[in-house]
A and B are shown apart, each in its own frame.
Chain A
Amino acid sequence: MSATQVAGRIAGIEAGAPIRQSSLWQDAWRRYLRNRGALAAGSVFLLIVVGCVVTPIVSPHDPNRIHFTDAYQGPSWAHPFGTDQFGRDLFTRAALGGRISIGIGFGATLAILLIGVVYGAVSGFVGGKLDNALMRFLDALYGLPYLPFAILALAIVGTVTFWTMVVALSVASWFITARVVRAQIITLKENDYVRAAKAVGVRWYMILGRHLLPNTLGVLVITIFLELPGVILGEAFLSFLGLGINPPDASWGSMAQDGRDAYRAHPHIIVIPSLAIATLVLCANFIADGLRDALDPRTKET
């Protein structure tokens, strides 16, 4: 083997081939694909999401139609997940519940991100007295337990809809995100290129929006999948307590609650939504882990 071939092998490219330009995101994507656990988790996650979206559309069963004659059936070809106490098809209902659970999960996560990014970015960027005041306020809020806070928020609003649920779950859980973003902004704004941008008169909002925030994107993507499990579990917990979405709509949490009365005789009604929640949360955690490894440039490829 000639020297150039060896050099080509070492660099991971064929000798003479044009050097491919690869951005940070392309590199990250490649590293993510190599992580088998994360890849499997990502696929399962995607499968669940697509399944939840598609199933109610193609299903022959009306998820809200009551058939007392079919109540409490076990899994069968007609009803893969069986039926509940009203004879409704649990497969279709699980997908419908998944739509709401995942929807609320992402909705609340995005709300958390929005509040956290704005709060943290302003605090870190302005610095000084304002930063101090905002952070001490956050310290005070930190003591608030988030589930009682969510319960209180739902009690005040009264009727539970998709959006009230999103608000209840995000209102007391954006504190960590705000801190993470603040810490990032503080580190980033010490960079020379920020000073250089200031030295040519770039306005502060452009510096924040164009030079600082895009550099926090990696952290934010990870944060999405770190926050998601907590929010989905929180929603399930609230629904299980009967504070969830109003029937006949259902989420995985309220479906599990439906199954509670008959869990000895017909355990599948409570097991199926619980498994769905557990799978989704596990996948989100694996994805977050994989993303962290993929987006951290210090992760060296072997």
Chain B
Amino acid sequence: MAPLLAVKDLRTHFFTRAGVVRAVDGVDLAVEKGKTLGIVGESGCGKSVTALSIMRLLPEPPARIVSGSIHFDERELTTLSQRQLEDIRGRQIAMVFQDPMTALNPTLTIGTQLVEVLQRHLGLDKGAARRRAAELLEEVGIPRARERLDDYPHRFSGGMRQRVVIAIAVACEPRLLIADEPTTALDVTVQAQVLDLLDDLQREHRMAMILITHNMGVVAESADDVAVMYAGQIVEQAPAGELFARPEHPYTEALLAALPDLDDPRARGRRLAAIPGRPPDLLDPPQACRFAARCPYAGCADSCPVEPPILRELRPGHWVRSAHPASERQPVPA
């Protein structure tokens, strides 16, 4: 069965005065129907640009998809006109943004903003759209939904607003939901609730989901598959259980090692692990392996700085872009 969304060799570059920023440089992704793909990586690694490229929401110029294909449900999104895209956005693919404080228009009631989408895509009349809007609010867990339709966004807390944003996104039952750091701007206690809500909605509506985050815990909880991004490329991709049990890429290992472990008694008083160095400048990325400068296994003897590693399948479904995956390393003499 063909995946719902297949991204192949996507390259999105920003053409700025300072030069070409290779924000996304050869990303391959596949999302199966009804499954969740988690994309993790640190700030500036191209997670959001990938998402916005799929939605074709990046301002062009300065951004441009220079090559690659985005195949969604037997349509090629990279060649569609903005008009055709408008029919897909919200109806087939919807997006939840990071900051619920800015993603709602402060001058319109949330009812207006929900009804707008429902009328746009489903052709409902005003009354039917309002009834459906109230149902949606109820579904995302907003009490007294019918009365709250006429409230302005400033009357809602951050978590409640994110619920409204999610209600708008799922209003027309899209087949793919892209959640770009949906919990980053929220309190920790609210984060779990919002993730649960996304999980529930996904199951009920049988949506596929791309969950973008820099929080390993979030991915572990919700994702079926995980792609780890670094400097505009995917460096490792595997089913979630497999990735956490047997990480292969040195970067993934370092990310997992950086998580504080409260259960480990020895962790007390010890410094948290960090990854030395900084991600490369995407204006002028390294010719070969982009992680080489920070990689503890890259020695002067091997080819890391010269030859770019390719994404290869180490085990079925487990892809790695490194010359030194964990399973191929020689045990280091102590």
Please report the C-alpha to C-alpha distance between residue A96 and residue B129 in the assembled complex, in whole angstroms.
52
Which among A192, A197, A201 is the interface contact of B99 at CB below 8 angstroms?
Answer: A192
User: Which residues on the A side are within 8 Å of B61 (C-beta)?
Assistant: 128
Contact flags A182-214 to B (C-beta < 8 A → 1, else 0): 000000000111011111111100100011001
Most buried by B among A23, A192, A199: A199
Q: Please encode chain A, from 159 to 201, with 1 for each CB lying within 8 Å of some chain B CB and 0 for all others.
A: 0000000000000000000000000000000011101111111
Q: Chain B: which residue is nearest A189 at the CB level?
A: B59
Q: Is B32 located at the chain interface by the 8 A CB criterion? A: no
Q: Which of these, B94, B116, B171, B172, contacts A206 with CB under 8 Å?
A: B116
> Chain B residues near A195 (CB, 8 Å)?
57, 97, 103
Report if B168 contacts A (CB, 8 A): yes
B140 at the interface (CB under 8 A from A): no
Q: Would B89 and A200 count as touching, CB distance under 8 A? A: yes
- A37-65 toward B: CB 8 Å interface, digit per residue (1/0)? 00000000000000000000000000000
**Is there an interface contact between A201 and B103, defined as CB atoms closer than 8 Å?**
no
User: A193 touching B169 by the CB < 8 A rule?
Assistant: no
Interface of chain A, main secondary structure: helix
Q: Which of B57, B91, B94, B103 has the most CB of A within 10 A?
A: B103
In the bound complex, CA of A225 to CA of B87 (Å): 42
- The reply to whether B105 and A199 contact each other, CB–CB distance below 8 Å, is no
Closest A-chain residue to B59, C-beta based?
A: A127
Residues 96-119 (chain B) with a chain A CB within 8 angstroms: 97, 99, 102-108, 113, 116-117
Within the complex, what minimum Cβ distance (angstroms) separates A199 from chain B? 4
- Chain B contacts for A21, CB-based, 8 A: 155
Residues of A within 8 A of B87 (CB): 201
| A202 B97 Cβ-Cβ under 8 A | no
Q: Please tell me if the beta carbons of B97 and A200 are within 8 angstroms of each other in the complex.
A: no
> B107 contacts A214, CB within 8 Å?
yes
State whether the Cβ of A215 lies closer than 8 Å to any Cβ in chain B: yes
User: A202 contacts B57, CB within 8 Å?
Assistant: no
Most buried by A among B87, B91, B97: B97
Contact across chains for A201 and B57 when beta carbons are under 8 A apart: no
**Which A residues from 1 to 52 make CB contacts under 8 A with B?**
21, 23-24
Most chain B CB neighbours (cut-off 10 Å) among A196, A203, A210: A196
**Cα–Cα distance between A82 and B89 once the two chains are bound (Å):** 71
- In the complex, B120 has a CB within 8 A of chain A: yes
Is B95 on the interface with A (CB-CB < 8 A)?
yes
The answer to whether B90 touches A210 (Cβ under 8 A) is: no
Contact present for A210 and B116 (CB under 8 Å): yes
Q: Are B104 and A199 in contact (CB under 8 A)?
A: no
Q: Tell me if B86 is interfacial: C-beta within 8 Å of chain A.
A: yes
Nearest-Cβ distance from residue A47 to partner chain B, whole angstroms: 33
Write the residues of chain A forming the contact surface with B, with a CB cutoff of 8 angstroms. 21, 23-24, 128, 191-193, 195-203, 206, 210-211, 214-215
Contacts A193-B106, A200-B121 known; list 11 others, CB within 8 Å: A24-B107, A192-B97, A195-B57, A196-B104, A196-B168, A198-B57, A199-B55, A199-B57, A200-B169, A206-B116, A210-B116
